[in-house]
């Protein structure tokens, strides 16, 4: 799977309670051999608020299909979040006049 395969795609995810939410993929990265995605809910960001995003990990289910799972390990989550903060969101420096 290409890391850029999903970038700028919009898709619907269903949580464990059956609630569907539309997300846009803000970016992807690889960490320790796994692919991670930063996704932004389409209904929750606006009016100058800081962008809130969710980190999902791509895995294979029992049928070999790609699925997205949450990252439950705190150290893994922190490492991947640092990558996204440095590579994706640091280039949006709103305080700079350069």
Which helix (H) or strand (E) segment is 70 a member of? strand 66-70
Residue 13: band (very low, low, confident or very high) from pLDDT cuts 50, 70, 90: confident
Residue 98: band (very low, low, confident or very high) from pLDDT cuts 50, 70, 90: very low
Instruction: Sort 49 into a burial class: Cβ within 10 Å, 0-12 / 13-18 / 19+.
Output: exposed
> Residue 47's CB: how many other CB atoms inside 10 A?
4
Q: What is the pLDDT of residues 63-96, one digit of tens each?
A: 999 888 999 999 999 999 999 988 876 655 445 4
Query: How far, in Å, CA of 12 to CA of 29, rounded?
Result: 20
């Amino acid at each position: 799977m290409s890391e850029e395969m999903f970038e700028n795609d919009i898709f619907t995810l269903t949580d464990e309670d059956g609630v569907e939410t539309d997300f846009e993929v803000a970016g992807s990265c690889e960490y320790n051999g796994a692919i991670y995605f930063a996704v932004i809910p389409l209904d929750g960001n606006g009016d100058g608020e800081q962008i809130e995003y969710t980190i999902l990990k791509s895995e294979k289910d029992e049928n070999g299909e790609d699925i997205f799972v949450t990252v439950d390990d705190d150290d893994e989550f922190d490492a991947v979040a640092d990558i996204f903060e440095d590579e994706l969101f640091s280039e949006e420096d709103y305080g700079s006049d350069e």
